[in-house]
């Protein structure tokens, strides 16, 4: 397998002329000693492109080309842990394995983390937390264009999957300008060092600039600030904002900018030129304006600096994570996981908000994995909860929970990051005489972890959600009968990936309380007819697959009189989606749908091959909703009478004895249908289905 640098995404090894692409470091662990990583010295990638060998000095101070370093002292590091002996390898329990990155990229990470040191344990946990497809880490970005991307989040489409690398990196003469740029050594910046030396010899004085402020009303505001304070404000702003402020305010436009201001540009615009910080400590005589203007020109002309800027931007969220998490240790009592097998197994029955996961430890290509499990006991009434968040590559996740008890006690669970906390008040329940009750949570579960939390005072009542929740599956995790006194949670290196509460003495088995839902958890008054749901076997095997509903009738059926048609979309005779149309817009739309309604080629086929196209067919059944026609019965079944419901069909009947099968080719001889017929004058107001990560619509039935 061809591997890439987990920091910059560029190729590791087999470069003819770019030595920096062949030199690597690794954060590695020995066998199953998961929690004690080491940083290797600088090694050289050997072997073939698709069977590379990563041999490196075991100590970070050493290099493979150091005089006196003996090759036999190098260790062979594998890209993943092994559980069976391999030819020529060490026994699995002592075989080093780890994550690989260019030695140059490691220096950039160190420079960006400065003045703090890189916490190897924290960094290793973060790396272990991310999926590893295509020979690198999937952070949720494309490494600045090195990888192709595709919508890959099988639940809500907000994540990405990495495609193949851009072009052929093994050919140094590849004319693709992106590849030419990404192969440039980010530390080979001799012209920058020359400019720094020249700036030391330049004469300098306090400089003024003339920018006409076309409109200004700040004579009684900014103008009354001391000159030093106004310049200090400018020092903290990026250069584009400085120019905008000077154009808008005469009080700032008239400032004579000092060398202090020009020096501040290397804390804002050009922080990635870390040689300035290293070679010119504050107080060093230097013409900072000369330095700024010349480096500004060099940045655009030097491909190596442009590649460095790309890598620096990629590392920004990672360095923030390493620094923040090194100061925010995981809170809670340790519980057993695969990675902590020495902890006693918990025999308690738990109600779990299940995360998505890839269970194959050697091929962790999507989802998330719990590296740690923590438990807290809440023995007092909970009156409020603080939720901590962490952002990685533009996606926000829940990282920790802090419970506030009636006696003033604070109980912490997970990574508590104070500056991100959001407060949620625990509500009261009428069944408990208005006393605040903590009965559980409502959570949104993304592909990589939990992204939002609400506090439930009853399964039918909860606080607003804190965190990202639009278009993400929701899961109700609450008790009908008791306040929650214990919470267990699973964490990876920086976020919450699972959440459990003790099971009720009388466990709830309704679909509403058992599975994830989109766009939200169904109203407790809806009749889901769970006993007729033909996909129970499938959804129980994959509880992370969300149930998605189309509630076209509206609350109390108020939209049924506006319904004019119901359509089914199919591909090769397989039902893929349902679409309804209204005569007049409802919330700005005349069409609502569930599943793949004319979007299969765009969303599904592209994941297989961009050239793969299938015929999408639509069958429409007109309904006279304005005239009082209603759907009053539904028959549904799997084509082959399978409990999984992988090839569903259904038949609707209206109160005018009109009926239609979807797909049209189906008929009663296919399977043994289940019939849903509301009592009295009630009508069908919606359908729901389960969507797998293969984007296939499974059974449909009405709430």
User: Nearest CA to 104 among 218, 168, 10, 212?
Assistant: 10
Query: What gap in Å lies between CA 246 and CA 87, rounded to an integer?
Result: 68
Residues 519 and 498 grouped into a single domain: no
- Most confidently modeled of 40-44, 226-230, 393-397, 684-688? 40-44
d(CA 98, CA 108) in angstroms, rounded, equals 20
The Cα 15–Cα 19 span in angstroms is: 7
Whether residue 186 is contained in a domain is answered as: no
pLDDT of 328 reads: 94
The whole-angstrom separation of Cα 257 and Cα 505 is 72
Cα angle for residues 634, 637, 640 (degrees, 5° grid): 160
Rounded Cα distance, 508 and 387, in Å: 27
* pLDDT tens profile 149-205: 765 544 444 456 666 665 545 555 556 666 778 889 999 989 998 898 888 777 655
| Structure confidence at residue 216 (pLDDT) | 46
CA distance 246 to 216: 10
pLDDT (0 to 100) of residue 251: 85
Is 68 part of any domain?
yes
Of the listed ranges 7-21, 57-71, 293-307, 680-694, the one predicted with least confidence:
680-694
529 and 663 both lie in a single domain: yes
* pLDDT recorded at residue 385: 95
Confidence grade of residue 256 (pLDDT, cut at 50, 70, 90): confident
Supply the mean pLDDT for the chain: 82
For 459, the 3-state DSSP assignment is coil
- Residue 86 shares a structural domain with residue 125: yes
Beta carbons of 533 and 547 less than 8 angstroms apart: no
CA–CA dist 361, 81 (Å, integer): 8
Q: Which of 104, 141, 102 is nearest to 12 (CA)?
A: 102
| Assigned domain for 181 exists | no
Instruction: State how far the Cα of 286 lies from the Cα of 292, in Å rounded to an integer.
Output: 11
Lowest-confidence segment of 65-74, 111-120, 444-453, 694-703 by average pLDDT: 694-703
Residue 278 lies in a domain: no
For the whole model, what pTM was predicted?
A: 0.86
Query: Which pLDDT does position 543 carry in this prediction?
Result: 66
Residues 334 and 481 in one domain: yes
Q: Picking from 106-115, 217-226, 499-508, 551-560, which range would have the lowest pLDDT averaged per residue?
A: 217-226
What is the three-class DSSP state of 565?
strand
Cα angle 143, 147, 152 (rounded to 5 degrees) comes to 100
Residue 196 neighbours by CB under 8 Å, 6+ apart: 275, 276, 279, 280, 291
Has residue 310 been placed in a domain?
no
CATH code of the domain in which 413 resides: 2.100.10.30
353: confidence class by pLDDT, cuts 50, 70, 90: confident
What is the domain count for the chain?
Answer: 4
Residues 506-552 pLDDT 10s: 656 678 888 889 899 998 888 888 777 766 666 666 666 788 889 99
Q: Which pair of tokens denotes residue 84?
A: 């069976």
Specify whether 247 is located in the same domain as 355.
no
- Considering 464, 482, 508, which residue would you say is the last residue of a domain? 508
Residue 562 resides in a domain:
yes
681 and 631 both lie in a single domain: yes
The verdict on residue 152 lying in a domain is: yes
Same domain, 454 and 531: no
Domain co-membership, 578 together with 540: yes
Selection from 317, 358, 19, 12 nearest residue 165 by Cα: 12
* CA dist 449 → 230, 341, 366 (Å): 44, 22, 11
d(CA 580, CA 625): 12
Question: Order of strands across the sheet with 616-622?
Answer: 589-595, 574-586, 563-571, 616-622
Its domain, for residue 490, covers 328-508
Tell me the two tokens of residue 122: 């924290």
Closest by Cα among 572, 579, 580 to 647? 572
pLDDT tens digits along 19-57: 999 999 999 999 888 899 999 999 999 887 778 899 999
pLDDT at residue 239 greater than cutoff 90: no
Q: Band the pLDDT of 597: cuts 50, 70, 90.
A: confident
> Do 230 and 100 belong together in one domain?
no
For the cut 90, the answer to whether the pLDDT of residue 15 exceeds it is no
Give percent above pLDDT 90 in the chain: 38
Whether residue 73 is found in the same domain as residue 158: yes
Band of residue 604 on the pLDDT scale cut at 50, 70, 90: low
For 92, counting Cβ atoms within 10 Å of its Cβ (0-12 exposed, 13-18 middle, 19+ buried), the class is: middle
Relative to beta strand 449-458, strand 466-467 is antiparallel
CA distances (Å), 598 to each of 189, 223, 612, in order? Answer: 52, 60, 15
Single out the residue in 136, 168, 200 at which a domain terminates.
Answer: 168
Domain boundary at 492, 508, 524, which? 508
Structure tokens of 657?
């004895």
**Closest listed residue to residue 524, CA positions, set 533, 512, 532, 534:** 512
Does a structural domain hold residue 398? Answer: yes
Q: Are strands 547-550 and 517-518 parallel, antiparallel or unpaired?
A: parallel
Q: Are residues 530 and 627 in the same domain?
A: yes
Between CA 152 and CA 351, with CA 472 as vertex, the angle to 5 degrees is 110
Q: Are residues 550 and 693 in the same domain?
A: yes
Q: Does the pLDDT value for residue 140 go beyond 90? A: no
**Contact between 400 and 496 (Cβ < 8 Å):** yes
């Amino acid at each position: 397998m061809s591997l890439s640098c987990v920091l910059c995404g560029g190729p590791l090894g087999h470069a003819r002329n770019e030595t920096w692409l062949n030199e690597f470091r690794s954060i590695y662990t020995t066998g199953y000693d998961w929690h004690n990583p080491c940083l290797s010295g600088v090694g050289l990638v050997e072997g073939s492109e698709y069977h590379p060998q990563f041999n490196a000095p075991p100590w970070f101070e050493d290099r493979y080309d150091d005089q006196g370093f003996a090759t036999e002292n190098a260790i062979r590091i594998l890209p993943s842990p092994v559980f069976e002996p391999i030819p020529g390898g060490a026994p699995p329990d002592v075989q080093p394995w780890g994550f690989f990155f260019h030695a140059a990229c490691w220096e950039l990470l160190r420079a960006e983390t400065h003045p703090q040191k890189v916490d190897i344990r924290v960094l290793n946990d973060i790396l272990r937390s991310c999926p590893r497809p295509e020979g690198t880490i999937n952070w949720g970005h494309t490494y600045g264009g090195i990888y192709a991307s595709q919508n890959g989040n099988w639940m809500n489409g907000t994540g990405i999957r990495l495609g193949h690398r851009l072009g052929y990196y093994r050919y140094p003469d590849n004319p693709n300008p992106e590849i030419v740029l990404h192969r440039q050594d980010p530390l080979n910046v001799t012209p920058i060092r020359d400019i720094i030396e020249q700036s030391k010899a330049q004469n300098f004085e306090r400089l003024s600039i003339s920018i006409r402020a076309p409109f200004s009303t700040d004579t009684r505001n900014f103008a009354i600030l001391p000159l030093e304070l106004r310049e200090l404000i400018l020092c903290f702003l990026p250069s584009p904002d400085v120019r905008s402020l000077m154009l808008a305010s005469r009080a700032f436009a008239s400032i004579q900018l000092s060398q202090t201001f020009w020096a501040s540009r290397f804390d804002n615009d050009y922080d990635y030129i870390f040689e300035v910080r290293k070679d010119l400590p504050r107080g060093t005589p230097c013409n900072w304006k000369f330095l700024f203007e010349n480096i500004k020109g060099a940045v655009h002309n030097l491909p190596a600096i442009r590649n460095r800027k790309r890598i620096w931007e990629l590392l920004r969220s990672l360095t923030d994570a390493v620094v923040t998490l090194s100061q925010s240790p995981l809170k809670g009592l340790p519980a057993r996981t695969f990675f902590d097998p020495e902890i006693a197994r918990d025999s308690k029955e738990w109600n779990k908000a299940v995360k998505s996961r890839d269970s194959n430890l050697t091929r962790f290509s999507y989802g998330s994995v719990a590296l740690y499990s923590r438990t807290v006991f809440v023995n007092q009434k909970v009156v409020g909860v603080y939720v901590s968040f962490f952002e990685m590559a533009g996606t926000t996740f829940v990282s920790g929970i802090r419970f506030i008890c009636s006696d003033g006690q604070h109980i912490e669970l997970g990574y508590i990051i104070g500056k991100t906390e959001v407060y949620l008040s625990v509500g009261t329940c009428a069944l408990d005489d208005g006393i605040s009750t903590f009965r559980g949570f409502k959570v949104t579960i993304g592909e990589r972890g939990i992204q939002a939390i609400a506090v439930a005072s009853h399964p039918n009542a909860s606080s607003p959600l804190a965190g990202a929740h639009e278009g993400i599956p929701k899961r109700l995790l609450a008790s009908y009968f008791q306040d929650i006194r214990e919470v267990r949670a699973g964490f990876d290196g920086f976020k919450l990936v699972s959440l459990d509460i003790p099971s009720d003495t009388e466990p709830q088995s309704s679909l509403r309380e058992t599975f994830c839902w989109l766009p939200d958890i169904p109203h407790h008054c809806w009749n889901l007819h769970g006993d007729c749901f033909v996909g129970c076997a499938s959804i129980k095997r994959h509880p992370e697959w969300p149930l998605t509903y189309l509630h076209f009738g509206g609350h109390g059926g108020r939209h049924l009189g506006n319904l004019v048609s119901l359509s089914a979309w199919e591909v090769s005779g397989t039902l893929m989606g349902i679409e309804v149309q209204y005569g007049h817009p409802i919330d700005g739309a005349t069409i609502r749908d569930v599943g793949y309604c004319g979007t299969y080629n765009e969303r599904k086929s592209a994941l297989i091959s961009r050239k793969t196209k299938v015929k999408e067919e639509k069958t429409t059944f007109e309904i006279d909703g304005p005239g009082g026609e209603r759907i009053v019965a539904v028959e549904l079944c799997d084509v082959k009478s399978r409990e999984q419901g992988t090839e569903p069909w259904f038949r609707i009947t209206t109160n005018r004895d009109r009926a239609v099968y979807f797909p049209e080719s189906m008929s009663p001889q296919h399977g043994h249908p289940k019939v849903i017929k509301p009592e009295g004058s009630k009508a069908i107001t919606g359908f729901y289905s389960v969507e797998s990560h293969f984007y296939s619509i499974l059974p449909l039935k009405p709430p």
